[in-house]
Amino acid sequence: MYKEKENSWFKGGYNFFDTYPIRFCNIVEKIFSDDMPEIFEFHASVQKIQHVIVNLCPTEPWILPNWVILEHKTAAFLDKLKEIRVRYFPDATIHIGINKNENEHIVETIDYAVSVEWMKVYKLDAKYPQDDPVILAKVILGVDISFNKDTISQGVVILDAQTVSAVYDNCILGNQVNSRFIALSGTGLKENEIINVQLGTSIEKMFKGRFKEGIKYRVFVNGPLRGNEITDLSQRIDWSINNIVALDAMDRNIMFPMFKSNELALTTNILGELRRCIYCNFCDDICPVDLEPALYYHSYGRGEKHKARLYNLGKCIECGLCSFICPSKLELLKIIKECKALDK
Amino acid sequence: MKKLLKPIEPILSKGFDRVESFIHTHRSVKFLFGSIFGAFEGLVRGTKETTQTQPFIRNNYDVKRFMGAVLVALVIGWVFPAIYFYGWQCVISKLIVSLIIGVFVVDVLWAIIAREEHISEGGFVSCLLVPAILPPQSPLWLTGLGAAFAIIFRNVMGGVGNNLVNPAIFSRLFLTICFPSLLVTGYQTPFVGIPDLHSLRYGLDAVTHATPLTAFKTSGEVASFLSLLFGTAAGSLGETCRLALILSGLWLIKIKVVNWRIPVSYLGSVLVLSVFFSLVMGKTVAPPLFQLMSGGLILGAFFMATDPITATYSQNSKWIFGAGCGFVTVLIRNFTTLPEGVMYSILLMNLLSIPIQSLMVKIKYRI
């Protein structure tokens, strides 16, 4: 079955593909670990699963693109999915959300889905944070799941393309899966690349010879928006790492920044001066879950952190768009997290 | 532009570094000139700060660009048309006096006395609005005084971000109280036709005419729609050419600097209420289209009521804010002795915006 859904529910959001176009090199390099590589494991849940959402709509440009896994063989990928469904989720409906710009994948998936009952296809707008579990569940299934809670307990499993393919290799074919694809990108690197790396390899080894010389760089695991900064590069790769972004720190004064937006884009510079809130409504226009982050800021500023809870604080999915867009450069996400911490 | 600036960049950068280190090592110099240097540096040089918390990348849209967009819209919306209608000598001198006294004297002195860390670029917007809402023939000192009042009021209330009412309108209220005669006269007749050197400099020499709203109040005379739209009817310096104001206002709406709800609800409520009163009371009230296009309504609706700091914050309450402005404007224009009520209506709604905002938030979140 095929359904077209284009943001029927979520307003706001931001298209990062337009702002930061990142193109990856087509050649995938393989990197081996010095030690024994770790092995991917998949445990089927005991809970009864009703819905499986396969997310083929990455919304951040530095996330591993679909073509790496699908390799222009969408039908083969869907066959894998069929086998997995038979083995692990026999009663579940499989929902596939695909980026609406990837025509090739859409056409093939729809062709496949027409003949089977258990599969539904959705065209999604690649607007951040469409791939967040809360928003995926809301847009595709129409159910509310709360942020940071296990979706399996609510009968929903969300998989990405790489996990699907690893589960198939590991559990259906019985092969050992000990490597994964990782997207390396950012202004701190010479080239944006995709590598196939064995689990357990250190990040330092992976980045050898890839950093631009003569600049100060900062490294972020799983993207600069929701990921974390790592300073210790000896950390090892595990299955949860999808991409690593190295950004130019740009911790220096730039003359005439208004003429140099290209040079400053995708760096960690704060790009402006800290000011007071000017009530510009940018944060609530962009908020994907319809909150008003400035209200939290003002509660916080008045010293009434506990009052922030009154304004639907629990709905926040911590996507960070409010801090990203704020022209006064206020640390709204940090304030939201502090107010949330008070709750517990 | 980029290529032109390239050779001077290292020299400028080095100069800034040297001045910065000098200022930071001398306390008295920092006390006097720190904020001015900071403001000037902010215009030319980017910041050094990097992000420390998630998200680690930020948009390159800052308050400077926000205010810059308003400045561009104001220059297109009123400065250029006013130069055509009243001559550059009148317009430019007022602008210079307003900006120098407002930003470079009062704001700088305030920053020194109050030990502010930086001078805000919001002062330029206020000082560009002050001459626009005064009569074309008002003396220069009145403009300077207005600019000084505007900046002082704004800073007394806590600076950009904390001001309760629009500083430019507040200073005009103050001037109306102190110098009533100067604000009801001096409405020069705009120049119409093909401009020559003389007209571009002086406009039409010292011919004054009552504003359309005053004329309606005294003799029941209604100015034509086209003369109001193109700005050939008398009025304050910046309010006459409604066409340019509407176009630049629409541009601001497009780039999301101005929230469309406020102009729509403000102009909409004026239209609806004036139609209603015209139907009920006949010719004693001004006709709807005339009300919509006359006075400072267009300037107020697109540039003053929409000031995000003094308007309400949440989106729903913006409708109430705009409608309230329209209601008060129509009431004052038609049922009091005053010909024009935009200034009072915006000031009143600025004050009421806080209770409206808190009430709407309480209703929305069911507190």
pLDDT at residue A344, rounded to an integer: 63
pLDDT at position A330? 93
Structure confidence at residue A5 (pLDDT): 54
How far away is chain B from the Cα of A194, in angstroms, using its nearest Cα? Answer: 22
How many residue contacts between A and B have a Cβ separation below 8 Å? 168
- B232 confidence band (pLDDT: 50, 70, 90): confident
The alpha carbon of residue B307 is apart from the nearest alpha carbon of chain A, in Å, by 9
Q: Which residues of B touch A250 (CB under 8 A)?
A: 50
Question: Does the domain at residues A179-252 carry the CATH identifier 3.10.20.90?
Answer: yes
pLDDT in tens, chain A (344 residues): 566 555 456 788 899 998 889 988 888 888 888 777 788 877 777 778 889 999 998 999 999 988 888 888 888 899 988 988 888 888 888 999 988 888 888 888 888 888 888 888 888 888 888 888 899 888 888 888 888 888 888 888 898 889 999 989 888 888 888 889 999 999 988 889 999 988 888 888 888 888 888 888 899 999 899 999 998 888 888 888 999 999 988 888 888 888 888 888 888 988 888 888 999 999 999 999 989 999 999 999 888 888 888 898 888 999 999 999 999 999 999 999 999 888 66
pLDDT at B49 over 90: no
In this prediction, residues B226-230 reach a mean pLDDT of 89
Helix/strand/coil (H/E/C) assignment for every residue in chain B = CHHHHHHHHHHHHHHHHHHHHHHHHCHHHHHHHHHHHHHHHHHHECCCCECCCCCCCCCCCCHHHHHHHHHHHHHHHHHHHHHHHHCHHHHHHHHHHHHHHHHHHHHHHHHHHCCCCCCCCHHHHHHHHHHHCCCCCCCHHHHHHHHHHHHHHHHHCCCCCCCCCCHHHHHHHHHHHHCHHHHHCCCECCCCCCCCHHHHHHCCCCCECCCHHHHHHHHCCCCCHHHHHHCCCCCCCCCCCHHHHHHHHHHHHHCCCCCCHHHHHHHHHHHHHHHHHHHHHHHHCCCHHHHHHCCCHHHHHHHHCCCCCCCCCCHHHHHHHHHHHHHHHHHHHHHCCCCCCHHHHHHHHHHHHHHHHHHHHHHHHCC
Complex ipTM = 0.88
Enumerate the domain spans of chain B: 9-58, 64-365
A73 min Cα distance to partner chain B (Å): 35
Q: Look up the CATH architecture of domain A2-22+38-172.
A: 3-Layer(aba) Sandwich (3.40)
Q: Is B66 on the interface with A (CB under 8 A)?
A: yes
Selected residues 113-132 of chain A with any CB under 8 Å from a CB in chain B: none
Interchain CB contact of B57 with A (< 8 Å): yes
Residue spans per domain, chain A: 2-22+38-172, 179-252, 282-343
